[in-house]
Chain A
Amino acid sequence: MGRKLLLEHINVPGINTFDVYRQKGGYRSVEKALKQMTPDEVVEEVKKSGLRGRGGAGFPTGMKWSFLAKPEGVPRYLVCNGDESEPGTFKDRYLMTHIPHALIEGMITSSYALGANTSYIYVRGEMMPQIRILEKAIVEAKAAGFLGKNILGSGYDLELYVQPGGGAYICGEETALLESLEGKRGNPRIKPPFPAIAGLYGCPTVVNNVESIAAVVPIINDGGEEYAKIGIGRSTGTKLISAGGNLAKPGVYEIDLGLPVEEFLYSDEYCGGIANGKRLKAVVAGGSSVPILPANLFMKTAAGEGRLMSYESLADGGFATGTMMGSGGFIAFDEDACIVRNTWNFARFYHHESCGQCSPCREGTGWMEKVLHRLEMGHGSMADMDLLVDVSKKIEGNTICPLGDAAAWPVASAIRHFRDEFEWHVSHAAEAVTRNYGLAHYADPLPKPEPAA
């Protein structure tokens, strides 16, 4: 049984209200930070924890905080990235819906550490119910003296606001998010300067994911060293994994980093195996942008070791035989799933969501979508696979923001690992149109682990 730091009280009735959250020990981190710690000491605890950004990049949060410029007389901002739009990822929505005060508490403690007196939670516009939930939680926290002027008599002031987005995946990229928060199109900015130097309104700014901010609460409550004891290697702490696709028990799970992937997939505590007793064909481990892996490579590294749910283990082998933790958006494909169709679907997503600022992304994503669509519809040629790889290479690394990479990797990895299925679509055009797929890349059927005695 893994530890529950973020979801410990998820099933407590009324935990979305201030009173119940407080009864369960909520807002202790704010009291501890404001009454017993200096802002630098809070930053130091986050550094000790080894917490890595939970939005996908995995950059050490404490280090990111320490980069924040602190010129005299210039406001600093903390902006929470709640623009969750990566296909496969729905953990932040879950957290904001059920335990909004965990995020509010994290925002107060983190804002104090960074010296921010105004902070924003940027939430994707489609999550209007979650926006209202957070706004209500802010009102409750303010009424209890945890927001506003002179919080808990500490002399520290903080105003916290929720900002709705307008529906654009690109706003999950931190500089695009800041542009959007300034009331503009979500076009990513060229870095440097990084937001830590010139972010919101040109002022020093930290942008952190919802889960990262919420994780600051147990880190301050229990200490960074305690948090770092959980997990494995540089993958410390717990991680929310949103599991979807062809799973028996899709949902949001909190795991200790380092959990064997086999246990995550097949144990009843987590995903409970593949739906309808089918076999696993492939997995996208960290949201649609990370490389897809056939089941056999996902279960074991190229060296034959059991793969773990950690940043390092999932990435083992590089892109040749590995993938990435990303946002923790876990998508399982059963034996009937069509990799070509799914790859086309993802390519359409990235084409649709490209902001259009960089030519390789704007043009290349559309090109990939068209080629994949004709392959899926049985009108492709054997040369199309090389064409797709060529286009993906011309997008990757040639754009201002990582959306180009995010668009290129699913296509390149699908062809790398499932080229024969793409070729089958060319050689079996009629079956492709009727979606009567004939190829399979099964893992060896794995025994379901025996439940612990």
Chain B
Amino acid sequence: MLRVEDTEMVPVEFSAELTAKFAEIVTRYPEGKQKSALLPILHLVQAEFGWVSAPAMDKVAEYLSIQPVEVYEVATFYTMYFMRPQGKYALEVCRTGPCCLVGAEKIMDHIEQKLGVKEGEVTPDGLFSWRGVECLAACGFGPVLQIGPEYTFYEKLTNESVDQLIEDLKAKANN
């Protein structure tokens, strides 16, 4: 597991719009139970910055009036929070049994070849990273992958559909 102090220490600022979203989330819980907002707020932070840095976690702790370590232990426990920068498009391919039965491993091999980077690495242009993740709960429609922060789903993948997806994302990034 990645150590929190290994991450970049670039200061972050939360916009008024972002903190307004934080405030709305906190109202969902009883008074004094604002720590419940931690997971949703970390999702918003990641959607804003692409990953969850130590300074961002410190700011979240300050906002929720909890200790920074309470944020670190949560952010490093759950697999969805990135502890280091990712590609603009972070592809996550389901690598669990049912998807593998219908070709997920071949799709991962193809993505590695197509992007030219290993699992967990970022392409030189900063556009893509990829990794295998555990069951995405779409076992009847495999192989599947998702891309945050919207977590858009792509089902019944083939090498050709993956090629098209990557080309579409490149075109989108260049527009």
Contact = CB atoms under 8 A, between A and B. Distances in A.
Given A167-B80, A329-B139, A245 B153 contact: no
A169 B137 CA distance: 11
Interface in A162-216: 163-169, 180-186, 201
A425 interface: no
Contacts of A346: 96-97
B100 A345 contact: yes
A88 interface: yes
Contact of B35 (A88, A89, A182, A288): A182
B43 interface: yes
A87 B149 CA distance: 23
A292 B100 CA distance: 17
B15 interface: no
Interface in B112-152: 133-142, 146, 148-152
A242 B140 CA distance: 7
Interface stretch (B5-13, B70-78, B83-91, B162-170): B70-78
B137 A90 contact: yes
A84 B37 CA distance: 21
Interface residues of B, number: 45
Contact of B79 (A89, A120, A166, A342): A166
A345 B135 contact: no
Nearest to B34: A183
Contacts of A183: 35-39, 64, 66, 70, 74
A282 B24 CA distance: 49
Interface in B15-54: 28, 30, 33, 35-40, 42-43
Given A129-B153, A331-B97, A185 B137 contact: no
Contacts of A125: 39, 43, 78, 80
B82 to A, nearest CB: 11
A161 B25 CA distance: 10
Nearest to B138: A90
A60 interface: no
A75 B42 CA distance: 27
B151 A251 contact: no
Contacts of A337: 101
A93 B137 contact: yes
B134 A353 contact: yes
Contact of B140 (A165, A181, A252, A345): A252
B137 A124 contact: yes
Interface in A84-106: 84-90, 92-93
B88 to A, nearest CB: 17
B6 to A, nearest CB: 19
Interface residues of A, number: 57
Contacts of B42: 166
Contacts of A340: none
B44 to A, nearest CB: 10
Contacts of A167: 78-81, 133
A273 interface: no
Interface in A242-266: 242-247, 250-252
A70 to B, nearest CB: 18
Contacts of A182: 33, 35-36
Given A165-B39, A186-B77, A201-B30, A87 B151 contact: no
Interface in A78-134: 84-90, 92-93, 118, 120, 124-129
A323 B72 CA distance: 40
A169 B135 CA distance: 9
Contacts of A422: none
A349 interface: yes
Given A129-B152, A331-B98, A244 B140 contact: yes
Contacts of B81: 166-167
Contacts of B74: 166, 183-185
Given A85-B134, A243-B140, A346-B97, A168 B77 contact: yes
B135 A87 contact: yes
A352 interface: yes
Contacts of A345: 95-97, 100
A425 to B, nearest CB: 17
Nearest to A187: B77
Contacts of B133: 167
Closest 5 CB pairs of A and B: A166-B78, A167-B80, A244-B139, A250-B140, A183-B35
Interface of B: 28, 30, 33, 35-40, 42-43, 64, 66, 70, 73-74, 77-81, 95-98, 100-102, 133-142, 146, 148-153
Given A245-B139, A345-B96, 17 more contacts: A84-B137, A85-B135, A87-B134, A88-B98, A90-B137, A90-B141, A125-B80, A128-B150, A159-B28, A163-B28, A165-B39, A165-B78, A180-B39, A185-B73, A250-B139, A331-B101, A333-B101
